[in-house]
Amino acid sequence: MARYSHIVGWGMYTPEHVVTNEDLAKIVETNDAWIRSRTGIRERHLVDNPQESSSTLAARAARAALERAGLPPTALDMIILATSSPDHLFPATACIVQDAIGATNAGAYDLSAACSGFVYGMAMAHGLIVSGQANTVMVIGAETLSRLVDWSDRNTCVLFGDGAGAVILQGREEPGGFLASVLGADGSGAGLLTLPAGGSRLPASVETVRRGDHYIKMDGKAVFRFATRVMANATRQVVEKAGLTLDDVELIVPHQANVRIIESSVVRQLKFPREKVFVNLERYGNTSTASIPMALTEAVETGRLKQGDHVVLVGFGAGLTWAAALIQWGPPIPLLPRWQRWWHQAWYPFHRARSAWRRGLRRVLAAWLGTKERSQEEFEGLRSRAGLKKEKKE
Ligand code: ACO
- Could you list the beta-strand ranges (E) of the chain: 4-13, 18-20, 43-45, 78-82, 107-111, 136-143, 163-172, 177-185, 193-194, 217-218, 251-254, 310-317, 321-328
On average, the pLDDT of the chain sits at 94
Q: Average the pLDDT over 100-104 and give the result.
A: 97
Å from CA of 1 to ligand 1 middle: 51
Cβ burial of 354 (10 Å; 0-12, 13-18, 19+) is middle
Which of the following CATH numbers is that of domain 4-328: 3.40.50.1100, 4.10.520.10, 3.40.47.10, 3.40.190.10?
Answer: 3.40.47.10
| 115 CA: nearest ligand 1 atom | 50
Instruction: Give pLDDT, residue 367.
Output: 86
| C-alpha torsion 126→132→136→137, nearest 10 | -40
Q: Average the pLDDT over 172-186 and give the result.
A: 97
Query: pLDDT digits over 197-243, tens only?
Result: 999 999 999 999 999 999 999 999 999 999 999 999 999 999 999 99
Minimal-distance CA residue to ligand 1 atom 2: 30
| 316 CA: nearest ligand 1 atom | 48
Minimal-distance CA residue to ligand 1 atom 15: 155
Q: Average the pLDDT over 322-337 and give the result.
A: 95
Q: Is 157 noted as a catalytic residue in this protein? A: no
Domain spans of the chain? 4-328, 336-394
Q: What backbone phi and psi angles, to 5 degrees, belong to 254?
A: -90, 165
Q: Which of 7-11, 209-213, 386-390 has the lowest mean pLDDT?
A: 386-390
Å from CA of 260 to ligand 1 middle: 12
Å from CA of 221 to ligand 1 middle: 7
Q: State whether the beta carbon of 146 lies less than 6 angstroms from ligand 1.
A: no
Q: Is 115 noted as a catalytic residue in this protein? A: yes
Instruction: Give pLDDT, residue 394.
Output: 45
| C-alpha torsion 92→97→103→106, nearest 10 | -20
Contact 335, 275 (CB under 8 A): no
Q: Is the pLDDT of residue 369 over 80?
A: no
**pLDDT category, 1, cuts 50, 70, 90?**
confident
Query: pLDDT digits over 155-170, tens only?
Result: 999 999 999 999 999 9
Instruction: Give pLDDT, residue 389.
Output: 63
184 DSSP β-pair partners:
322
Minimal-distance CA residue to ligand 1 atom 11: 155
Q: Is the pLDDT of residue 374 over 90?
A: no
Q: Is 126 noted as a catalytic residue in this protein? A: no
Query: pLDDT digits over 306-325, tens only?
Result: 999 999 999 999 999 999 99
**pLDDT category, 365, cuts 50, 70, 90?**
confident
- Structural Rg of the chain based on CA atoms: 24
Catalytic residue among 21, 45, 115, 258: 115
Q: State whether the beta carbon of 38 lies less than 6 angstroms from ligand 1.
A: yes
Task: For ligand 1, pick from 30, 219, 224 the residue to mutate: most ligand atoms within 8 Å of CB.
Answer: 224
Angle, helices 338-385 vs 93-101, to 10°: value is 120
Q: Which of 103-112, 173-182, 258-267, 359-368 has the lowest mean pLDDT?
A: 359-368
Å from CA of 271 to ligand 1 middle: 25
Q: Average the pLDDT over 106-132 and give the result.
A: 98
Cα(226)–Cα(160) distance, integer angstroms: 19
Q: Average the pLDDT over 58-85 and give the result.
A: 97
Helix segments in 174-251, DSSP class H = 206-211, 220-241
**pLDDT category, 250, cuts 50, 70, 90?**
very high
Q: Is the pLDDT of residue 386 over 70?
A: no
Q: Average the pLDDT over 267-288 and give the result.
A: 97
Q: State whether the beta carbon of 290 lies less than 6 angstroms from ligand 1.
A: no
Instruction: Give pLDDT, residue 129.
Output: 98
Contact 333, 353 (CB under 8 A): no
Å from CA of 270 to ligand 1 middle: 24
Instruction: Give pLDDT, residue 377.
Output: 72
Element (H, E) at 75: none
| 114 CA: nearest ligand 1 atom | 50
Could you tell me which residue, 26 or 390, shows the higher pLDDT?
A: 26
**Could you give the angle at the alpha carbon of 296 between the alpha carbons of 164 and 169, nearest 5°?**
80
- Say if strands 251-254 and 217-218 run parallel, antiparallel, or are unpaired: unpaired
26-36: b (≥16 Cβ within 10 Å) or e: eeeebebeebe
Work out the widest C-alpha separation in the chain, in whole angstroms. Answer: 91
CA 381 to chain centroid, in Å, comes to 54
Å from CA of 257 to ligand 1 middle: 12
Could you tell me which residue, 122 or 345, shows the higher pLDDT?
A: 122
Q: State whether the beta carbon of 318 lies less than 6 angstroms from ligand 1.
A: yes
